[in-house]
């Protein structure tokens, strides 16, 4: 038997969600059976899967000891020396400028040295995160960008901030702007375009179409030409929707693939010019309206120094 006392980061969750996060090796079928047969109780009473937990509640689990095996010593962040470019930080959130080539999260190939592990290592060393004192919460990313895209990524330090920031993003009160370098000069020089995207999950690619059809999702992409040089353009792009590879595929569909993009363009010659990644950078976030505990972010804008954008100098 093990007892968990619900803390501030656990409160507000359904019982089944809390158990899933806390006992990661417990199969879902056993989880619901244990709740039904009173092997998992709240405040020593029978509970339902949807019971919402409050701070100070006691969750008793009468389960096999194997499900309580919590070994943190193998977690990568414990021995990792954090290497972060921090653009903004307060008691609730941290915003980092991720370098191209670094994954946001571990991938299917088992790579563990990722942005979130660097953030956990940083907070652990600061004393702001200790897994021994947490039941279900770990610092988490609120947005993510592709491995070879650089730029701003938001992480939440506590559960309330994670909920509020995720809701802000869902309600589209966080405006996301990118800089990218493309082949050619788009016409008109500024526009907001609508198209429809189909995702091929098996091959991790997307295809853009003019017309809607079952299986396609609507995408809206705004762009503005900032600079032109040698027949190429530097664009500011605003995402009104945030779908997989949206910028890369939409601009390629327009006839202006990103420099260095081998998936939606031909980058053989680009590589010779030093473009080993797609020339795309999440460079600015505007918090149009903060919510809940993050209401103080209303009106705040965060941006990356132009000198940190590896392809920006090619247009000077």
The residue out of 144, 170, 196 marking a domain boundary is 170
For the chain, give the percent of residues with pLDDT over 70. 97
Q: What is the overall mean pLDDT for the chain?
A: 94
Tell me the C-alpha distance between 155 and 175, whole Å. 16
The structure tokens listed for 143 are 């947005």
91 and 7 both lie in a single domain: no
Going by C-beta distance under 8 Å and a sequence separation of 6 or more, which residues neighbour residue 37? none
Same domain membership, residue 273 and residue 202: yes
Do 274 and 157 have their domain in common?
no
Question: Do 302 and 183 sit in the same domain of this protein?
Answer: yes
Range of the domain at 102: 76-170
Domain co-membership, 110 together with 61: no
Residue 73: the pLDDT is 62
The stretches of the chain forming alpha helices (DSSP H) are 15-22, 28-36, 115-126, 159-170, 246-253, 268-272
Last residue of a domain, one of 170, 196, 220: 170
Structure confidence by residue, pLDDT tens digits, 201-258: 999 899 999 999 999 999 999 999 999 999 999 999 999 999 999 999 999 999 999 9
Contact predicate 24/18, CB 8 Å: no
Q: Are residues 148 and 210 in the same domain?
A: no
Same domain, yes or no: 197 and 287: yes
Backbone angles phi, psi at 312, to 5 degrees: -65, -40
State the CATH number of the domain containing residue 26.
Answer: 3.10.290.10
Mean pLDDT score, 292-310: 96
> Is residue 139 predicted with pLDDT exceeding 80?
yes
Number of domains in the chain: 3
Task: Give the pLDDT of residue 76.
Answer: 87
Note whether 178 and 268 are same-domain residues.
yes
pLDDT of residue 71: 58
Q: Do 178 and 304 share a domain, yes or no?
A: yes
| pTM score above 0.75 | yes
For 72-119, the pLDDT digits (tens) are 667 889 999 999 999 999 999 999 999 999 999 887 766 789 999 999
Q: Are residues 130 and 143 in the same domain?
A: yes
CA-nearest of 308, 39, 302 to 176 is: 302
Answer yes or no: do 287 and 161 share one domain. Answer: no
Residue 170 has pLDDT above 80, yes or no: yes
CATH number at residue 193: 3.30.2350.10
Domain end position, chosen among 68, 100, 123: 68
Task: Give the pLDDT score at 122.
Answer: 98
Same domain, 282 and 201: yes
Cβ atoms of residues 97 and 308 within 8 Å: yes
């Amino acid at each position: 038997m093990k007892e968990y006392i619900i803390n501030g980061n656990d409160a507000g969750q359904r019982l089944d969600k809390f158990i899933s996060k806390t006992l990661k090796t417990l199969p879902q079928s056993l989880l619901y059976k244990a709740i039904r047969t009173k092997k998992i109780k709240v405040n020593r009473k029978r509970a339902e899967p949807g019971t919402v937990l409050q701070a100070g509640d006691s969750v008793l689990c009468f389960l096999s000891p194997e499900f309580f095996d919590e070994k943190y010593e193998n977690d990568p962040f414990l021995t990792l020396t954090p290497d972060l470019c921090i653009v903004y930080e307060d008691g609730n959130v941290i915003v980092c400028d991720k370098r191209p080539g670094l994954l946001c999260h571990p991938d299917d190939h088992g790579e563990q040295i990722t942005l979130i592990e660097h953030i956990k290592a940083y907070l652990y060393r600061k004393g702001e995160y200790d897994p021994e004192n947490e039941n279900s919460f770990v610092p988490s990313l609120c947005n993510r960008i592709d491995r070879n895209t650089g730029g701003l990524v938001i992480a939440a330090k506590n559960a309330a901030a994670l909920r509020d920031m995720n809701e802000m993003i869902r309600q589209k009160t966080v405006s996301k702007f990118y800089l990218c370098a493309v082949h050619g000069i788009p016409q008109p020089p500024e526009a907001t375009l609508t198209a429809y995207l189909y995702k091929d999950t098996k091959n991790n690619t997307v295809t853009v179409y003019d017309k809607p059809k079952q299986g396609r999702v609507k995408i809206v992409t705004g762009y503005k030409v900032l600079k032109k040089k040698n027949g190429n353009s530097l664009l500011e792009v605003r995402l009104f929707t945030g779908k997989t590879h949206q910028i890369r595929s939409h601009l390629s569909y327009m006839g202006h693939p990103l420099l260095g993009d081998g998936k939606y363009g031909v980058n053989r010659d680009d590589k010779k010019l030093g473009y080993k990644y797609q020339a795309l950078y999440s460079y600015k976030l505007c918090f149009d309206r903060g919510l809940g505990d993050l209401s103080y972010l209303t009106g705040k804008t965060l941006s990356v120094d132009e000198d940190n954008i590896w392809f920006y100098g090619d247009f000077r």
